[in-house]
Amino acid sequence: MKSHLGLIVPLAIGALVAACASNPPPASRSPSPPAKGAPPPPSPKLMGPGDADALLENEWKKNSVTPAGVADDATFIRRASLDLTGVIPTSKEVQTFLADQSPDKRQKLVDSLLASPAYADHMTNVWDRILLGRDVRPGVVDRFAFRAWLHEQFEKNVPYDKMVHALITATGQNSLGGRPFDKSEAERDTNDAKINGAVNWFLHFDNLPDVAGTTSRVFLGVQIQCAQCHDHKSEKWKQTDFRSFAAFFTRTRPQPVDKTKGMGTRKFDLVDVDHPVRGGKNAPADLVQIQQSPAKTLDGTDLSNAANRRVALADWMTSPKNPWFAKEIVNRTWGQLVGRGFFEPVDDFRESNPPMATELLDKFAADFIASGYDLKHLMRVMAMTEAYQRADAISQPGEMDEKLWGHFQLQRLGPDELLDSVARATNLDNVLEKAAGENIDRLRFAMRRQFSFVFDVDEMSDHHDEFDGTISQALLLMNGNLINRGASALPTLAIADIVKEPGGDPAHVREMTLRTLSREPTDDELKKWVAFVQKPRDVVITDDSNKPVDAQTAPKKGEKAGKNTRKAPNGDPLQNVEKRLEQRADKLHVDAKRQAYEDLMWAQLNSSEFNFQH
């Protein structure tokens, strides 16, 4: 059957959880400007971490929560770097931060991370996962154009309300067409007036109900999609509410720009029309019912007669008086940073799922609005709260301690954070750039896709039990080519650089630990690990079947090592890296000491300490 998008798709009908309470009527998007000649209004006094801490300490006292101690500096720089830039700090950054004795060094660190280019890279990855998930519609969605649009928003620190408004109301062409890697940088320039990468979000959906359900869930925290199929006795939202909300999108249509079906993405122009987009005589009944419904917001305001329904909806959604919009992003950001939101899941805001610490939630939301919807300001304040700076252990564990952030909650690293952190710790990022050359973007995308396939168990959910790892995830890390190649003594990789430095094995072990675990080794660890790398051992070499072979009969440098030696598995995005660097023979002639360092780095990269945010 045909969806409202005019593309052949199945009609997906979901049934999840329902949403929220009644609310006041909407306000206009912006307050009236001051009279000509009048002095500008005073800037609002924005929130500081001390304001949040006072409210949080009251909650702890009321609920008899004994918070954990403050996390040490090494833990804090790793935590903040991962949360704000998506990658662990370098060993030099860790050492500099640990040596800094200034009392405000944590605030300066947070400011520098938010100002770094890596912040925009990280937030692009985060919101790409939230908005598009793992897979996109082939031939329709230009993910690279969408990511370029997202990156520009975060790079320029566009206010969150304006970013969402632009996304909901986006019109224009989705792509230059074809395969993105076949285009030059100039051709891929998303500042071209023809291209609006944001329209790819709308094109991502198979049908109109999915657009409506996701819009409400992601940006308002209201899971109205559960009312798509039938009414629930215990929940507020009914089928009529869902249909009326979905009616805002019935006049939006993607029109093919060209009818050619070559390799890559087709060109579509997303436009708004002045009549409902028809699904034809075979249109499903629920689509017809949506088309015939009045366009009403979640508080019941009828905007059916608006000149542009999507613009009217976006105005209502991003209004300062909207009771859901600011609280949803505050809750999502708080959950992203401290491991648990004011309500969980972070996109399920309803009466039967009340938030914790409502006074603090309201305070954050009001401050976020007063800041001009500044995401960096929100993250800056949150990252300096006591809750964010607590250690990950508590003296009196209990359910209320979990809900009220009495200690920092362990969180498994996401696929992007893990991939980038392994690459940074091992110097593999530098190797990839040299080996892939102009194809580095393609290689990175392929690697992210491989990782995401294993780690994104449910790409449509924003709430994961981060503590539950799967067997496939563990095997990918232990046996996958990423860590096995990264933790090798090949030239230009980390181990080769580490063992060249002066200071002997103690200095080398220390540097490796700083690179991987972002901290100094303890005295016991240093003693144990130095003894390990100094222990006499035989060199172990494996052939193409991964069986040990005699080092004396192994191929010499420059000789062929066998028909299928070191052949990567099908689909391995790293398969050509070593061929480009001509490092295969060097791999077969690692001495015992360097092989011990390989084993030590492999163990550190596979440790829970490396794979969790803590």
- Burial (0-12, 13-18, 19+ Cβ within 10 Å), 292: exposed
Q: Quick one: pLDDT at residue 148?
A: 93
Cis preceding-peptide flag for 42 (omega within 30 of 0): no
CA–CA gap between residue 482 and residue 572 (Å, rounded): 9
Range from 342-346, 469-473, 481-485 that averages highest in pLDDT? 342-346
CA–CA gap between residue 581 and residue 350 (Å, rounded): 56
Q: What is the DSSP letter of 253?
A: E
Please indicate, yes or no, whether residues 372 and 441 belong to a single structural domain of this protein. Answer: no
Is residue 547 scored above 80 in pLDDT?
Answer: no
Position with higher pLDDT, 560 vs 78: 78
Contacts of 166 (CB under 8 A, 6+ apart): 153, 158, 198
Please write the tens of the pLDDT for every residue from 25-73: 333 344 444 455 555 555 567 888 889 999 999 999 999 998 999 999 9
441 with 181: CB under 8 angstroms?
yes
Q: What is the largest CA-CA distance in the chain?
A: 89
CA end-to-end distance (rounded Å), the chain: 48
Position with higher pLDDT, 117 vs 565: 117
Please indicate, yes or no, whether residues 378 and 420 belong to a single structural domain of this protein. Answer: no
Is residue 462 scored above 50 in pLDDT?
Answer: no
Average pLDDT (116-122) is 96
> Of 358, 393, 409, which residue constitutes the final position of a domain?
409
Please indicate, yes or no, whether residues 403 and 423 belong to a single structural domain of this protein. Answer: no
395 with 64: CB under 8 angstroms?
no
Q: How confident is the model at residue 180 (pLDDT cuts 50, 70, 90)?
A: low
Q: List Cβ<8 Å contacts ≥24 apart for 106-109.
A: 106/73, 106/76, 106/80, 106/384, 106/389, 107/384, 109/76, 109/77, 109/80
Q: Quick one: pLDDT at residue 26?
A: 38
Contacts of 228 (CB under 8 A, 6+ apart): 13, 14, 15, 209, 213, 239, 242, 286
Q: Quick one: pLDDT at residue 535?
A: 92
Q: Quick one: pLDDT at residue 374?
A: 98
Alpha helices in 86-191 (DSSP H): 91-99, 105-115, 117-132, 143-155, 160-168
288 with 3: CB under 8 angstroms?
no
Is residue 444 scored above 60 in pLDDT?
Answer: yes
User: Which residue in 69, 3, 43, 47 sits closest to 277, CA to CA?
Assistant: 3
Kind and range of the H or E run holding 86: none
* Number of domains the chain is built from: 2
Please indicate, yes or no, whether residues 251 and 343 belong to a single structural domain of this protein. Answer: yes
Q: What is the DSSP letter of 348?
A: -
Q: Quick one: pLDDT at residue 576?
A: 56
Q: Quick one: pLDDT at residue 219?
A: 97
Q: Quick one: pLDDT at residue 397?
A: 58
Please indicate, yes or no, whether residues 258 and 200 belong to a single structural domain of this protein. Answer: yes
322's tokens:
């909207």
Is residue 548 scored above 60 in pLDDT?
Answer: no
Q: How confident is the model at residue 361 (pLDDT cuts 50, 70, 90)?
A: very high
221 with 331: CB under 8 angstroms?
yes
Is residue 197 scored above 90 in pLDDT?
Answer: yes
Gyration radius of the chain's alpha carbons: 27
Please write the tens of the pLDDT for every residue from 203-232: 999 888 899 999 999 999 998 766 555 555
Q: Quick one: pLDDT at residue 258?
A: 79
> Of 409, 443, 476, which residue constitutes the final position of a domain?
409
pLDDT above 90 as % of the chain: 48
Please indicate, yes or no, whether residues 398 and 522 belong to a single structural domain of this protein. Answer: no
492's tokens:
């230009």
Please indicate, yes or no, whether residues 365 and 420 belong to a single structural domain of this protein. Answer: no
Is residue 556 scored above 70 in pLDDT?
Answer: no
Alpha helices in 236-343 (DSSP H): 239-246, 285-291, 309-317, 325-338
Contacts of 400 (CB under 8 A, 6+ apart): 63, 64, 65, 406
- Burial (0-12, 13-18, 19+ Cβ within 10 Å), 119: buried
Position with higher pLDDT, 603 vs 538: 603
Please indicate, yes or no, whether residues 382 and 506 belong to a single structural domain of this protein. Answer: no
Q: What is the DSSP letter of 569?
A: P
Average pLDDT (186-201) is 73
CA–CA gap between residue 595 and residue 266 (Å, rounded): 50
Average pLDDT taken over every residue of the chain: 79
Is residue 21 scored above 50 in pLDDT?
Answer: no
Please write the tens of the pLDDT for every residue from 253-301: 999 987 766 677 889 999 999 888 765 556 676 778 888 889 999 999 9
Is residue 19 scored above 90 in pLDDT?
Answer: no
Task: Provide the domain limits for residue 170.
Answer: 1-409
Number of other CB atoms surrounding residue 276 within 10 Å: 16
Is residue 15 scored above 60 in pLDDT?
Answer: no
Please indicate, yes or no, whether residues 77 and 19 belong to a single structural domain of this protein. Answer: yes
Query: Which is it for strands 252-256 and 268-272: parallel, antiparallel or unpaired?
Result: antiparallel
> Of 391, 409, 427, which residue constitutes the final position of a domain?
409
Please indicate, yes or no, whether residues 318 and 438 belong to a single structural domain of this protein. Answer: no
Q: Quick one: pLDDT at residue 228?
A: 57
Q: Quick one: pLDDT at residue 551?
A: 43
Please indicate, yes or no, whether residues 461 and 506 belong to a single structural domain of this protein. Answer: yes
Please indicate, yes or no, whether residues 142 and 217 belong to a single structural domain of this protein. Answer: yes
Is residue 306 scored above 50 in pLDDT?
Answer: yes
Lowest mean pLDDT among 19-28, 207-216, 241-250, 366-375: 19-28
